[in-house]
Chains A and B, each alone.
Chain A
Amino acid sequence: MTAHCASSPLVLPTSEELLRYGSELLLTPGELDLDSLDAGLAAAMGPGIDFAELYFQYGSRESWSLEDGVVKSGGFSLDSGVGVRSMAGEKTGFAYASHITPEALRETGRIASRIVRSGQSKVARPAEPRTAQARYGTAAPGGDSGADIKVALLQQADRIARSADPAIVKVSASLGLVHDVVLVRASDGTLAADSRPMIRFNVSVIALRNGRRESGSSGGGGRFSLAELEQRQMVEAIAREAVRVALVNLDAVAAPAGDMPVVLGAGWPGVLLHEAVGHGLEGDFNRKGSSAFAGRLGEKVAAEGVTVVDDATLDEKRGSLSIDDEGTPGQCTTLIENGRLTGYMQDKLNARLMGHALTGNGRRESYAHLPMPRMTNTYMLGGQHQRDEMIASVRKGLFAVGFSGGQVDITSGKFVFAASEAYLIENGKLGAPVKGATIIGSGPEAMGRISMIGDDLELDNGVGICGKQGQSVPVGVGQPSLKLDNITVGGTQS
């Protein structure tokens, strides 16, 4: 923990309560209990295996979507199972089953442990329940809310968006509610459980004016309940924001092309950090030497004043985790402190092989996927400057506030992200909105060109999805407004 990270004010479930809840939901139906997991672990240990782990997961997903003013589809899915991995040095054997029974544990353990077939037979350590501060409530995000409430929220979004402007011709809205309950037991003594709610509300609109068609979308959510979504009046805010973006785009002109100063807005533009430095600081890439940041701990990798953290401990944020998927308590890890590289994000495998401490970043999409180091909520801390001051300092450049996503090549460090809302800056003043601007650069280079850091740190609204090696996990991003002195903007107006 570092001084940057706040502590939690919420009253939340204890680790013991979560363990009892997880055990009842995941183990009891298959006539298993916490004690019987020792036999499952023993099956996964075998000759030469130095670490084995059982990961149980119950996942329910509910979704509702509206089109043309009508909630036309609703869906519900249930997926539960167990993933078993056995490790020997850098080798990992993995198998999973979608039924949680003693037989399934024996069979998956037997298959996973065959990754090596010789060596010393070790015995798993007795269970030592892990204690972690919960960062969100345990309940399913839908709580007791009936389907009629969910339908009504979508219709409310539709009404607000349609009545906001006559140019709005199409509105679609969706609501997603996810509830994951996980339980981890590993041969290093780990025993921990978590119950993770997740809610997400999205609105997309199409605006049509004088034959020109543009889109706008917005969304929000986090690890909280439907009741909380209503209380925060997020539906109205999201619907209005989608309309606003579409209307801005109706007036957008072609984006400029070439190198220029860029001012980034606060909040979601933090996707820049996620791509430009976040992925490059994940332990696996650094252990294997495939990241542009490999072997650079202690070196200056960003401009003076730049401090970046990965923080799983924020209350109810989309990327927050009470424990990671390996049972390690969620943490706040300083990745870059005042421009210097101070830490990587680790899971158990990479921390062990690199001789580093665990950081609580071991995450997996589901029981059917292997864990790897992943981000949680990644953001840059605030500085001294005002946003207006940054814009005023630019003679000709770009002000980007919305992005549709980004991507990075961690080996070359090259990243790219596409602006969904951006404006020209001319002689220190905001000009016309532009469309189709892409920003491209190299992570270490871009980080060195940050010349002004705003005093307006914001986290995104809770819509981030991060993909890595075919696995998707929810994440948060954030930053204050930033000025980058010189970066390549790809538009059509050269």
Chain B
Amino acid sequence: MDKAFDAHREQQRLEAQTAYALEQARQLGATACEVGASAQQGMHVSVRLGDVETMELATDQGIGVTVYVGKRKGSASTSNGSEAAIKETVAKAYDIARYTGEDDKAGLAPVELMASDFPDLDLYHPWALEPDQAIEIARRCEAAGTAVEGITNSEGALLSSGTGVSVYGNSHGFLHAEKGTSHSVACRLIAGSGDAMQRDADYTAARSPDDLYSVEEVGRRAAANTLARLAPRNVTTGRYPIIFAPRMAIGLVGNLLGAIAGGALYREASFLCDTLGEKLLPEWLSLYESPRERRGLRSANFDADGVATRNNRFIEQGVLAQYLLSSYSARRLGLATTANAGGARNVRIDAPLSRYQEMIAGIERGVIVTEMMGQGVNAVTGDYSRGASGFWVEQGEIQYPIEGFTVAGNLREMFAQLKAVGDDVDRRGNIHSGSWWVDGMTVAG
């Protein structure tokens, strides 16, 4: 787009705003203060049935302030970057802090934990793309999909390309910026008609346009995924081995990380309260994060508290080795922060991977789950019951698509009954995983 987003200038602007807000808080007499400011620009183009459908230029900015007055805290934010608006926002946060109650755990992370080295994580790769080129790429992606025999309709292909800068500063004197880009192309297709329609999708996403998969390949895979779902059958209720496809397995890792996150633990709202040191998964599996991976989707040198990120190992040979803690949740639990304010970054599984085909071949009668729906995960008890669709496996071979069934169990038992992780690793998101083979779940159809 022609109104270019100058990341360097934006960074200077945000740094000045952050410093200004910190200074305002100091002048008001705040005990401590932290400020986050960000600006993004993105282009989103969608094409449907060969024609451009929407073209959007998204420009966002915001600044958020948390002020501590003694042991009390108040927060405020605004999308207006003017000095007057920032001053008003700081005053509002300060005002709120007069009414909140004392919390002796409130405050900034310890000054000695602030990040002090800032290696280049290679996150900034703008895509010099004119709107017409973006439309053409989306069109090629969709066309590759709709050209496949059996595809009857399309929900379109979407290209997004964005650049963002974020700044975090606090009254320890910490003030640092990170800038990065993200690009993606996605395609959603429909096959069949009337009561027999199915839809599915595929996508590619990366920090650099060079790392995106071929968009034609994305279109063709979306078509293959969609066609594979046609003429689904039902499943007979029973207990079967389940293969959770990579995207579903990634969801299970997400459930695990959510349950060992400080906020859930100190609220006693987790089925993994007080399980540090316990064996949760098979001993052949470890789970770690790699927050400073170059070009990593969630890479960062510091967390949302300004604390230097580090390579945490959450699960070590099946044992819960470490929780995910921010400085606040750590204080609540009487522990030290793990630099996970804002979550886990670039989560990886360390385990011997089984050949996907061999996993399937090893199943007498079972279910592959490729999609799940609904919110049937109880974080407090670990009870798990979700709507699903996928494929029926018999005698080691995929037989036909299935839908309209549920898979149910308890996450703690599901983790314990993990039998294998596949080599079909999905590397597009924050968590990377292959398929998971889990035994002992109930399927209702």
CA distance A368 to B52 in the complex (A): 20
- How distant is B96 from chain A, measured CB to nearest CB, in Å? 4
Listed A/B pairs (9) with beta-carbon separation below 8 Å? A70-B103, A94-B54, A115-B54, A257-B406, A257-B444, A418-B376, A440-B404, A489-B444, A490-B386
Interface pair B78/A493, CB less than 8 Å apart: no
> Does B133 make an interface contact (CB < 8 A)?
no
Q: Considering only CB atoms, which chain A residue lies closest to B156 in the complex?
A: A288
Interface pair B375/A491, CB less than 8 Å apart: no
> Does A240 make an interface contact (CB < 8 A)?
no
Q: Considering only CB atoms, which chain A residue lies closest to B199 in the complex?
A: A411
> Does B75 make an interface contact (CB < 8 A)?
yes
Q: Which of B22-64 contact A (CB under 8 A)?
A: 48, 51-62, 64
Q: Considering only CB atoms, which chain B residue lies closest to A81 in the complex?
A: B79
Q: Mark A60-90, 1 if CB is under 8 A from B, else 0.
A: 0000100100111111111111000000001
Contacts of A405 in B (CB 8 A): 374-375
Q: Which of A409-439 contact B (CB under 8 A)?
A: 409, 411-418, 435-438
- How distant is A255 from chain B, measured CB to nearest CB, in Å? 7
With A411-B198, A417-B374, A494-B238 as known contacts, state yes or no: A70 contacts B101, CB within 8 Å. Answer: yes
Contacts of B100 in A (CB 8 A): 64, 70-74, 151
Q: Which of B257-274 contact A (CB under 8 A)?
A: 267-269, 271, 273
Interface pair A493/B73, CB less than 8 Å apart: no
Interface pair A440/B406, CB less than 8 Å apart: yes
With A72-B101, A491-B444, A494-B238 as known contacts, state yes or no: A290 contacts B190, CB within 8 Å. Answer: yes
> Does A98 make an interface contact (CB < 8 A)?
yes
> Does B373 make an interface contact (CB < 8 A)?
yes
> Does B311 make an interface contact (CB < 8 A)?
no
Interface pair B239/A494, CB less than 8 Å apart: yes
Interface size (A, Cβ < 8 Å)?
80
Interface pair B405/A288, CB less than 8 Å apart: no
> Does A393 make an interface contact (CB < 8 A)?
no
Interface pair A492/B385, CB less than 8 Å apart: yes
Q: Mark B369-381, 1 if CB is under 8 A from A, else 0.
A: 0000111101011
> Does B316 make an interface contact (CB < 8 A)?
no
> Does B153 make an interface contact (CB < 8 A)?
yes
A407-B375, A440-B387 known; 4 new pairs, CB 8 Å cut-off, are: A72-B106, A97-B59, A438-B406, A489-B444
> Does B442 make an interface contact (CB < 8 A)?
yes
Contacts of B62 in A (CB 8 A): 79
B residues adjacent to A (C-beta < 8 A): 1, 3, 48, 51-62, 64, 73-80, 85, 89, 92-93, 95-103, 106, 131, 153, 155, 190, 195, 197-199, 232, 237-239, 267-269, 271, 273, 373-376, 378, 380-381, 383-387, 389, 403-410, 442-445
Task: State which of B52, B59, B198, B239 has its C-beta within 8 Å of the C-beta of A115.
Answer: B52
Interface pair A206/B269, CB less than 8 Å apart: yes
> Does A404 make an interface contact (CB < 8 A)?
yes
Contacts of A346 in B (CB 8 A): none
Interface pair B54/A70, CB less than 8 Å apart: no
Q: Which of A172-221 contact B (CB under 8 A)?
A: 172, 204, 206, 208, 213-215
Q: Considering only CB atoms, which chain A residue lies closest to B238 in the complex?
A: A494
Interface pair B55/A93, CB less than 8 Å apart: yes
CA distance A231 to B123 in the complex (A): 53
> Does A129 make an interface contact (CB < 8 A)?
no
Interface pair A72/B73, CB less than 8 Å apart: yes
Among B48, B80, B404, residue most surrounded by chain A Cβ atoms (within 10 Å) = B404
Contacts of B237 in A (CB 8 A): 257-259, 494
- How distant is A341 from chain B, measured CB to nearest CB, in Å? 14
CA distance A150 to B59 in the complex (A): 34
Q: Mark A479-491, 1 if CB is under 8 A from B, else 0.
A: 0000000001111
Among B51, B92, B408, residue most surrounded by chain A Cβ atoms (within 10 Å) = B408
- How distant is B309 from chain A, measured CB to nearest CB, in Å? 25
Interface pair B444/A114, CB less than 8 Å apart: no
> Does A96 make an interface contact (CB < 8 A)?
yes
- How distant is A47 from chain B, measured CB to nearest CB, in Å? 16
CA distance A384 to B56 in the complex (A): 50
Interface pair A412/B59, CB less than 8 Å apart: no
Q: Considering only CB atoms, which chain A residue lies closest to B62 in the complex?
A: A79
CA distance A150 to B386 in the complex (A): 37
Contacts of A73 in B (CB 8 A): 73-75, 100
With A67-B267, A214-B381, A290-B153 as known contacts, state yes or no: A257 contacts B403, CB within 8 Å. Answer: no
With A370-B56, A418-B375, A435-B381 as known contacts, state yes or no: A98 contacts B79, CB within 8 Å. Answer: yes
Q: Considering only CB atoms, which chain B residue lies closest to A155 in the complex?
A: B101
Contacts of B190 in A (CB 8 A): 289-290, 411
Task: State which of A90, A150, A407, A412 has its C-beta within 8 Å of the C-beta of B53.
Answer: A90
> Does A3 make an interface contact (CB < 8 A)?
no
Contacts of A64 in B (CB 8 A): 100
CA distance A77 to B80 in the complex (A): 11
- How distant is A174 from chain B, measured CB to nearest CB, in Å? 13
Among B78, B102, B384, residue most surrounded by chain A Cβ atoms (within 10 Å) = B78
Interface pair B373/A416, CB less than 8 Å apart: yes
Contacts of B75 in A (CB 8 A): 73-76
> Does A441 make an interface contact (CB < 8 A)?
yes
Among A93, A413, A436, residue most surrounded by chain B Cβ atoms (within 10 Å) = A436
Among A70, A416, A489, residue most surrounded by chain B Cβ atoms (within 10 Å) = A416
Interface pair A206/B380, CB less than 8 Å apart: yes
- How distant is B176 from chain A, measured CB to nearest CB, in Å? 24
> Does A111 make an interface contact (CB < 8 A)?
yes
Q: Considering only CB atoms, which chain B residue lies closest to A89 in the complex?
A: B51
Interface pair B79/A78, CB less than 8 Å apart: yes
> Does A95 make an interface contact (CB < 8 A)?
yes
Task: State which of B58, B197, B389 has its C-beta within 8 Å of the C-beta of A368.
Answer: B58
